Amino acid sequence: MIDVGLSRFRAVHHLRQALLLGLVPFVSLAAQQLTTDTRDPNQKQDPTFAQSYQEWLANPKHGSPLVDHLPLVAGIPTPRDVLGYHIGAPRKLTYYADQLKYYRALAAASPRVKIETIGRSDEGRELVVVWIASEANMQRLAQNRANLAKIADPRGMTEAQVKAVLADTKPHYHFMGGLHSGETGPSEMLMELAYRLVTETSPLISQIREQLYVSITPAADADGRDRNVDWFFRGLDMAAAIPAPAITPVVTPAPAMPVAGDTARRAPAGAPTAAPAGGGGFGGGAGVPYWGKYVYHDNNRDINIKLVQMRAIIDWYFTAYPPIMHDLHEAQPLLYTYTGGPPQNPNLDPILFAELPWFGNWEMAQMTKWGMPGVYTHAFMDGWSPGYLGSVAYNHNGLMKMYETQSGRDLDSTAMANARRGVTAATPAPGGGLGGGRGGGVPTGRGGAQDREWYRRRRSSARPPASAPYAADSAA
């Protein structure tokens, strides 16, 4: 049995570096040549972060020079200064109000941060977008935003005018965490990313800050977020109340849990059956009785916008036109970066299907350079379904990126043993699956019950097989 709290750290760790990596292609060629120059030797670093990083990282291969340190800058609070713990700390999740408290503390301390209120959730929680860029960029935020709106709809402009606007505009990259509130890592990691982008003076981060605008949705479904954090702590309390002999692992396949987020969850094989399977003790999320005021399950997609908090994000999109909406999820082993595989929607701009693999391949190449196993792109999400809220961008000539990172729930002792032995994603694991659901140990191209080429089989069969999407799968 593994320590589920530590596995959570390892899971969010992949996300920690993936988030930074996604931004790098947007900086200049010179900066790309400096991608391993990720520290400013003259900047003070937080020794407590370095210690926790070493302590919590299962395998050095999962680390990288992007995130093995955390700068300290006088007057600017780290997440730990406000929350009391480093992001990813075992047995910690952050309530939405505390997330906002952190972002507000950061904004109060730095002119590089602005917070925009974009609405209220069903239960009245304030919905925000957090903006981060250099001071100079922040002074031009309104102008840049207006320029992006012109670029998004250039009708009526001459080519020369369009080129002039382009030359006067910096890219804007939007991250969105917590669309599936049971997938708790992104909302944690985005706070640390924000802090790094504000404070770090490495060539890499400085150039990101100077050359583009980054914005963040801390938790797309703020109501569901708090339910899941409640559930997480409930699970920890229940596990703590069980006497030690009662949690001797019973290695039997756990029953499927109610569909939640990207996959039908199962408790990790070998998990203590006396503990609340899939409940808070495994990271929060699976099995939460009710996720929102009006919905059983916040499977809230661009194609199915039924929550006011989702509509607020879509409405905001049409005020800012970020060319990239990056939707952050966790339900796949290690790191899956979406590249819009077949079938692709022919109604979307063909450039999209050239750009998506370019980004994904770039990320895989970078992580391979750092000796990191397991980043891949051959998984379930095709270029047809507008299956995530961020697809509002690629439905409007922009680009949606999407990551799935490993959930702390999905790891079991086999996975961790493999990780310690350095078994990479290309090496089949015994039994082919680890935690159940989509969180299998080896990327197979299958997502839960969804075969990679499901569309071919459906076409050729009068009756959809049981594994067809929509029959047995909520899709991700």
- Residues in the site for Zn ion, rule: CB under 5 A? 180, 183, 261-262, 329
Least separation, in Å, of the C-beta of 261 and Zn ion?
Answer: 4
Q: Are 102 and 79 in contact (CB under 8 A)?
A: yes
For residue 262, the minimal CB distance to Zn ion (Å) is: 4
Based on CB atoms, which residue is closest to Zn ion, 209 or 329?
329
Choice between 262 and 473, CB closer to Zn ion: 262
- Do 434 and 416 contact (CB within 8 A), yes or no? no
Q: Are 326 and 402 in contact (CB under 8 A)?
A: yes
**Structure tokens given for 159:** 């080519």
Least distance in angstroms from the C-beta of 70 to Zn ion? 27
Burial degree of 83 (CB within 10 A; 0-12, 13-18, 19+): buried
- In this complex, which beta carbon is closest to Zn ion, that of residue 224 or of residue 360? 224
Closer residue to Zn ion in complex, CB, 71/440: 440
Q: Which is nearer to Zn ion, 86 or 329 (by Cβ)?
A: 329
Nearer to Zn ion by Cβ, of 262 and 410: the residue is 262
* Spatial strand order in the sheet of 375-376: 113-120, 126-132, 213-217, 172-176, 324-329, 399-405, 335-337, 375-376
Phi, psi of 117 (to 5 degrees): -85, 130
Which of 4, 259 has the CB closer to Zn ion? 259
- How many CA atoms, within 13 angstroms, populate the side-chain half-sphere of residue 367? 29
Q: What is the DSSP letter of 125?
A: P
Grouping H, G, I as helix, E, B as strand and the rest as coil, residue 308 is: helix
> Is the CB of 203 or the CB of 440 nearer to Zn ion?
440
Q: Give 261 or 390: the residue with its C-beta nearer to Zn ion.
A: 261
Residues 180 and 329 sit within 8 Å (Cβ to Cβ): yes
d(CA 52, CA 275): 27
Q: Cβ 389 to Zn ion, closest distance in Å? A: 10
Instruction: Say how far apart CA 66 and CA 79 lie, in whole Å.
Output: 18
Min dist CB 346 to Zn ion, Å, is: 26
Distance (Å, whole) CA 386 – CA 398: 13
Which runs of E-coded beta strand occur in 17-154?
A: 113-120, 126-132
Look up tokens 């120059």; give the residue: 37
Give me the helices (H) in 57-167, please: 79-83, 96-109, 135-139, 141-152, 159-167
What is the bridge-based pairing of β-strands 263-266 and 382-383? unpaired
CA–CA dist 140, 142 (Å, integer): 6
CA-nearest of 151, 70, 437, 87 to 322 is 151
Closest approach of Zn ion to the CB of residue 450, in Å: 14
Pairing of strands 213-217, 256-260: unpaired
Residue nearer to Zn ion on the CB measure, 64 or 405: 405
Is the backbone peptide bond immediately before 343 cis, with ω within 30 degrees of 0? yes
Token representation of residue 346: 């022919």
In whole angstroms, the minimum distance from the beta carbon of 405 to Zn ion comes to 10
Q: Using the minimum distance from each CB to Zn ion, give the nearer residue, 183 or 223.
A: 183
At its nearest, how many Å lie between Zn ion and the CB of residue 414?
24
Our CB check for Zn ion shows the closer of 183 and 355 to be 183
